[in-house]
Structure 1
Amino acid sequence: MAASSDKTIKFNENAKSNPYWFQVMVNGKRVTRRGFKTITEAKKARAAIITELSKGEYIEPNKMSFGSYFEQWLSGRANIAHSTRKMYESYFRTHINPVLGDIPLSKINATHMEQLIASIREKELGDEMVKRIFATVNASLNAAERKDLISKNAANKIEKPTVKRKERAVWDIDTVREFFQATKNESRYWIAAYLAVMTGMRQGEILALRWSDIDMEKGIIQVRRNLVKNMTIFTGLKTEKSRRTIAISQQIISILEEQRQKNELEKQNPKIKYEDNDLVVCSSKGTPATATKVIHAWKTMQQNYKPESAPTITFHDLRHTHASIMLRQGVHPKVVSERLGHSTITLTLDTYSHLLPNMQEEAADSLESTIGLKF
């Protein structure tokens, strides 16, 4: 096979997005590729096709399997976080490839998409997981449609999976107080759970927190990075809103000072080959703490110390507990949204909408008590 020597990347002035496109000659036929956001992306795609042609590895779109296409699509997404890429790879390997992998990309239809959803649901996965896997396939097919590899995205022809919002289990103030007072010296990872309930930070953000991210004098934590789950890879945060500053109380500062002293004692232990990573939460050797060990410690503390009347909650539910307590105390939703690092205040209100009826009732009672009309 041979490609045309014309390397011109063309621009579609009428396209609202992804305006760049190009053509190459394959077996005497002019092949068009559209839907590139920048001229650089178009050049890279064209160069990749020419390289494949020169090696005899080029597969025409009508003969390419969805599995081959998906792997190419994912490898070309340079701007996604490492953790996101690993998540997509896991979705593909476990759920997508067994159902769609061998089907020609050009033959993917609505029935195939319905079979994919049915296959995922048979594994009794939650609504959120079904929606995420479907959205990943949908995104890959949208890209294929933009590039004229397929005429239509079959995922747009079926009813998309939805998530039935469930009320998250959270602890009340009394449970939080009783539990954290009782467990303070039970695990080296107690500090991680404490920070989760007191700051609303995500687990990966807590495990990536450095002492240099904390200003004890000003009483603030700078949230700047994330630890990839069960790995020792630190990444930047996905959105600008996730990069945030969280105010902390004097009690939190005191607890952090205690933790720093513990870390220093371990660092000075001659029997331990300590690796100083400046981490607030770490292993006894100073290395990053894995999510698995932190979650195991959290479950063990609950089994031993959780009040019988309180629900069993996940580590992530500590973040929800933080938000629900603040909202019930009358903290403005915008402040709560900023502490959580939500992209919009709307997301915060939607997530905790189940609290609003009670809050409205409390507000009405408070208003009546304040005005105090007597008839």
Structure 2
Amino acid sequence: MRGAVRDGLISKTPCRDIRLPHADKTVIRLLAPEQVMRLSRAMPPKYGPLVLLGAAAGLRQGEAFGLSVDRVRFADQMISVDRQVVIVDRRPTLATPKSPASVREVPMPVFLAETLEKHIADHSPADLLFSTSRDNLMRRDYFNARIWKPAIKAATLLPDTTFHDLRHTFASTALAEGVPISEVSRWLGHESITTTVDLYGHLVPEASERARTALDSAFRSALDVPPMCPEGE
């Protein structure tokens, strides 16, 4: 609206003195490693590794759909994320990720590298690792209805389990194992570490105990110093 005022389209903005509602906090649902593996195995073999890309590398769904063979760098065990599948004019197309921070390098665990290596050997993808049966770009609605929903049912997971829950699982698992939240934020492709802290800060293990220890250490010596007497006493 301010832009419309600057461009002379309207004389003044109606967006004045508006009290915005509080945004609801994102519900974080985490999957246990056993649930992740069960879900991966419940998928059609061609799509099982997609689950691990979410849970073990933190890729968004569109980023996983846009991952190509040459972006999986087995030599240095890294995944390059620099494009995603989006819908433009009702057609799937390859595009850059949602923000500059989303263009990133993500470490690839050995078990994920082995899974992707086998996937490439079994399915011989020329470019994208995952596509439809007709080698078209994957549509989110097609995948969710035809592949994801049947798989979560077969894996006996909650019916509203989403692909993004795998991303939450990746972040929480890394933090639980002591990975610094700054690194997790970078691997997730967040523009600001504030986003990561808001979402996952409460999952950092022993954070409260570390805070107590640090404050005790800082103030303990001061507590042992006798109080100063008022001047003249």
1:197-236 aligned within 5 A: 197-229=55-87, 231-236=91-96
Structure 1 runs (4+) greater than 3 angstroms displaced: 177-180, 361-367
For 1:345 and 1:174, the matched residues in 2 are separated by 29
Q: Write the letter of the residue equivalent to 1:303.
A: K
**Structure 1 residue aligned with 2:185:** 337
Local SS of the residue matching 1:156: coil
Question: For 1:283, which of 111, 132, 136 is the aligned residue?
Answer: 132
- 1:312 Cα offset (Å): 4.8
Check the 8 A contact 1:328/1:359 in 2, yes or no: no
Residues paired across the two proteins, number: 211
- 1:294 Cα offset (Å): 2.2
For 1:208 and 1:167, the matched residues in 2 are separated by 26
1:1-375 aligned within 5 A: 141-180=1-40, 182-183=41-42, 186-229=44-87, 231-264=91-124, 276=126, 278-296=127-145, 297-306=147-156, 312-356=160-204, 359-360=206-207
- 1:237 Cα offset (Å): 2.1
Greater shift, 163-172 or 209-218, is seen at: 163-172
Check the 8 A contact 1:205/1:226 in 2, yes or no: yes
Root-mean-square deviation (CA, aligned residues, Å) is: 2.7
Check the 8 A contact 2:56/2:109 in 1, yes or no: no
- 1:166 Cα offset (Å): 3.7
For 2:111 and 2:45, the matched residues in 1 are separated by 19
For 1:243 and 1:169, the matched residues in 2 are separated by 25
Q: Write the letter of the residue equivalent to 1:236.
A: T
Check the 8 A contact 1:167/1:354 in 2, yes or no: no
Map Cα deviations across residues 172-193 of structure 1 (whole Å, 9 max, x no partner): 334334544x43x644222212
- 1:315 Cα offset (Å): 1.0
Q: Write the letter of the residue equivalent to 1:164.
A: D
Gaps of 5+ in 2: 215-233
For 1:315 and 1:159, the matched residues in 2 are separated by 33
Map Cα deviations across residues 64-117 of structure 1 (whole Å, 9 max, x no partner): xxxxxxxxxxxxxxxxxxxxxxxxxxxxxxxxxxxxxxxxxxxxxxxxxxxxxx
For 1:362 and 1:190, the matched residues in 2 are separated by 39
For 2:178 and 2:16, the matched residues in 1 are separated by 42
Q: Write the letter of the residue equivalent to 2:60.
A: R
For 1:361 and 1:177, the matched residues in 2 are separated by 32
For 1:362 and 1:289, the matched residues in 2 are separated by 46
Name the CA shift for 1:366/1:157 in 2 (closer, same or farther; >3 Å): closer
- For the pair shown, the structure with the greater C-alpha radius of gyration is 1
Tell me which of the two structures has the higher relative contact order, counting C-alpha pairs closer than 8 angstroms and 6 or more residues apart. Answer: 2
Name the CA shift for 1:259/1:177 in 2 (closer, same or farther; >3 Å): closer
- 1:170 Cα offset (Å): 1.5
Name the CA shift for 1:188/1:177 in 2 (closer, same or farther; >3 Å): closer
Q: Write the letter of the residue equivalent to 2:166.
A: L
For 2:37 and 2:179, the matched residues in 1 are separated by 19
Name the CA shift for 1:366/1:200 in 2 (closer, same or farther; >3 Å): farther
Instruction: Give TM-score scaled by structure 1 length.
Output: 0.51
Instruction: Give TM-score scaled by structure 2 length.
Output: 0.80
Local SS of the residue matching 1:221: strand
Local SS of the residue matching 2:16: helix
For 2:211 and 2:2, the matched residues in 1 are separated by 49
For 1:334 and 1:311, the matched residues in 2 are separated by 32
